[in-house]
Amino acid sequence: MRPDRSRRNSESRTPSSRSQLSALSETRPPKSLGIEPAELARLQAEDRERFTARFDVSRETLTALDRYVAMLTDWQTRMNLVAPSTLATVWERHIADSLQLEAFLPPFETGADLGSGGGLPGIVIAIMRPEAKVHLVESVGKKATFLRAVADELGLNTHVHARRIEASGHALRQSEVVTARAVASLDRLLGLVSPHISAETRCFFAKGASHEVEIAAARERWSFELKTHGSQLVEGSVILELSAVRPL
């Protein structure tokens, strides 16, 4: 599935990703990734092979994902976009996990990804759904800069909001689906989004082994309809699909 390059990032065109990274380099020396570049490249190549054996994506989509992973790896030397220990297995730990969440999303015209960080799952969703607009909400300025650079480089139909989730009501009100991965507890997430979404808005939140505890805590303060999708990648992890969210 190929992103439509005629539908550019809805923000004003940003400087090239290379110039943006160079600007960061002037204020921050590159940090060690904790692994030799050649060894990291070898491990990522092996990880990519495992990914392509499991996931059937088009050549165009794989090319876009390759470019994204390359940028993620490059910019990781300036900021923590993902946990350093997961960079060698970025395809299985992050790309596959994001694709798994994306597969549960219904057709939509506008979506919002909260706490986008390094673009997982928001950038992956934008790559897989070029016909949709994806709002990427990320309060850390340098990570927002990275997201804009990726969106510009790949021609994604996104809008990056460099603000906190609670200040992103406009983006949430426009969105039919809302996603989040490793952002906050379920109770906290519902408190952030509920003032801005409708009963029809569907939320997809990736959660780990403690999801049942989080659900129980959230039900003390919130009413919601819930579907639980088990992870095919990590035992005990799930994707929670919620709708009709309202406070008790």
212 contacts: CB under 8 Å, gap ≥ 6: none
148 secondary structure, DSSP code: H
- Tell me if 170 sits within 8 A of 143, measured CB to CB: no
Residue 119 gets the label, from left (phi > 0), alpha (psi -120 to 50) or beta, of left
225 in a known ligand binding site: no
Q: What is 101-114 written as a DSSP string?
A: HHHHPPP-SEEEEE
115 in a known ligand binding site: yes
12 contacts: CB under 8 Å, gap ≥ 6: none
120 in a known ligand binding site: yes
Q: Determine the Cα–Cα distance for residues 241 and 59; give it in Å rounded to an integer.
A: 30
Q: Determine the Cα–Cα distance for residues 77 and 170; give it in Å rounded to an integer.
A: 33
Size of the chain in residues: 248
Residue 11: strand, helix, or coil: coil
Angle ∠(217,220,221) on CA atoms, nearest 5: 105
247 contacts: CB under 8 Å, gap ≥ 6: 194, 221, 222, 223
218 contacts: CB under 8 Å, gap ≥ 6: 185, 186, 187, 190, 224
Annotated binding site: 115, 120, 165-166, 181
Annotated binding site for S-adenosyl-L-methionine: 115, 120, 165-166, 181
